[in-house]
Structure 1
Amino acid sequence: MKIKLAKNYGFCFGVKRAIQIAEKTKDSITLGPLIHNPKEISRLELKFGVKVEENTQEITNGQNVIIRTHGIPKGDLEYLKTKDIQITDATCPYVTKPQKIVESMSKEGYQIIIFGDKTHPEVKGVMSYSITQPLVISSLEELKEIKIKKKVALVSQTTKQADNLLQIASHLITHCYEARIFNTICNATFDNQESARELSKEVDIMVIVGGKSSSNTKQLLNIALQNCPDSYLVEDENDLQTQWFEGKNICGITAGASTPDWIIDKVKEKILSL
């Protein structure tokens, strides 16, 4: 079995930064998982004592708290600042950008439209910065069913596909008096997606490595499936199934932005041994 790696894959700048912060801030608490990769979260807890807390109200005085890469709602951050705790902000700079845009544009009277997943922690955080109730849409079709105002401002979840954002932006431009379009898709996400698209055209099977709850990893899978029907998402080497590779000659591998190299290496070794 020949293996080809995507040109761009794995840890992005924001995730690398967050991991470095967590490793330096031992025995700390993160609000929600620091990143969307359960294997790496387990490593941080076992080796550095970094634990996950989902409830802001459970944070007690004297603790070291790390804000996760996806950010947290504005109200939660303001609450933490009232406590006697040490706060280290590991929010990805690409995530703080739409937060600031939404806050500014909503103050100027624009209807806020967020292209993203309502339940995703990043989107929940961005929503909280709007002074008016924002609209969250997951597709162009969903937007078409909503009555929009004359002045709108559009931002995107950082891991969405650029082509879909462009479709939504084009619709707004032709249906609004004034549309402010902000491309808040992460550059690393875009590069990883393009690399996955190109590689999926050259292989018999694609393996995407990453957390199954990770938005950017799911996007990579969807992109790969467009060109390579035999594309699979695995969290680690234990998810690989021998029958996937029967009759296949070339395997392409890419990985989500929260996937560390040590997991990717184990997946490669397992595939080579099949």
Structure 2
Amino acid sequence: MKVKFAKKYGFCFGVKRAIRIAERNQHATTFGPLIHNSREIERLQKDFDVCLSSNLEEAQSFKNVIVRTHGITKDDLQALKEQHIHIVDATCPFVTKPQQIVEHMSKEGYRIIIFGDKNHPEVKGVASYGDDVTVIANIDELKHLTFKKKVALVSQTTKQPEEFGKIAAFLTARVDECRIFNTICSATFENQFAVDELSREVDIMIIVGGKNSSNTKQLFKIAQKYCTDSYLIEDENEIDNTWFIGKKLCGITAGASTPDWIISRVQAKIEQI
């Protein structure tokens, strides 16, 4: 089976930074999953004794706490500081940016609109920095809202730029003042554009990444638009040889939290088919 990779895929800047931070801070815990890839989290625990705390209470029992790439809420961060715990902040700078914007614009009296998944840890963290905050998953959810005269719009870093643009246009036509902050990560845009391009020319697409990863699920969704035989897998063990019957060219991409060692194993197995 021939394999062709997307022009952009895999670890983004923020994830690479977080992994380096975790490897330098052995015998610590992360507050929430450091990244959305269970296999890489298992490697960090095995090789560097970096364990996972799923909530504030667990994290408070450690002397050294690493804040995950997606960030945590303002209240949780303050609670850690008050206990004089050594905090190592691995929050991606692209996530810190909307946190700061929301805090500033909220103080200026703006209603905050966040385009994102309200249950995602990044969005929960960003929303915690504002007072009057509404999280929307799509443009249809805006149609039932009433607006203040001043609105500020930000986005979850992994959302699709096209949809963000539609939401921005909708708001600007309905409020006196709309401040728009494009907080979508550039790496996210590049990876999405690359999978859009590749999925148009291959017989089958394999997307490698955590199934709870927002950016990986977005890549899968885009691939399905042009290549109906698209599959989302976490590692090579989920590959089904029957997927490739009658296929000649397989496209591969990977989410921003997917390490190279997993991608290489997937490539090797597919090339043997």
TM norm. shorter chain > 0.5: yes
Partner residue of 2:236? 237
String of CA shifts for 1:18-51, please: whole Å, max 9, x gaps: 0000001001100000000000000000000000
Partner residue of 1:215? 214
Q: Quick check: 2:29–2:62 contact (8 Å CA) kept in 1? A: no
Q: How far, CA to CA, are the matches of 2:227 and 2:62 in structure 1?
A: 51
| Structure 2: segments with no counterpart, 5+ residues | none
Question: Residues 41, 257 of structure 1: CA spacing in aligned structure 2 closer, same or farther, 3 A cutoff?
Answer: same
1:83 pairs with 2:111: no
Q: Quick check: 1:14–1:93 contact (8 Å CA) kept in 2? A: yes
Partner residue of 1:129? 129
Summarize the alignment of residues 33-182 of structure 1 with structure 2, pairs less than 5 Å apart.
33-60=33-60, 63-130=63-130, 132-182=131-181
The number of residue pairs the alignment matches comes to 273
Task: Please state how far the C-alpha of 1:84 moved relative to its aligned partner.
Answer: 3.0
String of CA shifts for 1:146-200, please: whole Å, max 9, x gaps: 2222210000000000000000001001111111000000000000000000000
String of CA shifts for 1:124-164, please: whole Å, max 9, x gaps: 0001000x231000001111122222210000000000000
Length-normalised TM-score, structure 1? 0.98
1:18 pairs with 2:18: yes
* More displaced stretch, 9-18 vs 76-85: 76-85
Q: How far, CA to CA, are the matches of 1:220 and 1:136 in structure 2?
A: 22
1:5 pairs with 2:14: no
Q: Quick check: 1:61–1:85 contact (8 Å CA) kept in 2? A: no
Letter in 2 for 1:233: L
Task: Please state how far the C-alpha of 1:57 moved relative to its aligned partner.
Answer: 2.0
String of CA shifts for 1:41-68, please: whole Å, max 9, x gaps: 0000000000000121233466111000
Q: Quick check: 2:207–2:219 contact (8 Å CA) kept in 1? A: yes
Q: Quick check: 2:31–2:59 contact (8 Å CA) kept in 1? A: no
Q: Quick check: 2:65–2:88 contact (8 Å CA) kept in 1? A: yes
Length-normalised TM-score, structure 2? 0.98
Letter in 2 for 1:260: P
| Structure 1: segments with no counterpart, 5+ residues | none
Post-superposition, which runs of at least 4 consecutive aligned residues in structure 1 deviate over 6 A?
Answer: none
Q: Once the two structures are aligned, what percentage of the paired residues are identical?
A: 62
Q: Quick check: 2:7–2:194 contact (8 Å CA) kept in 1? A: yes
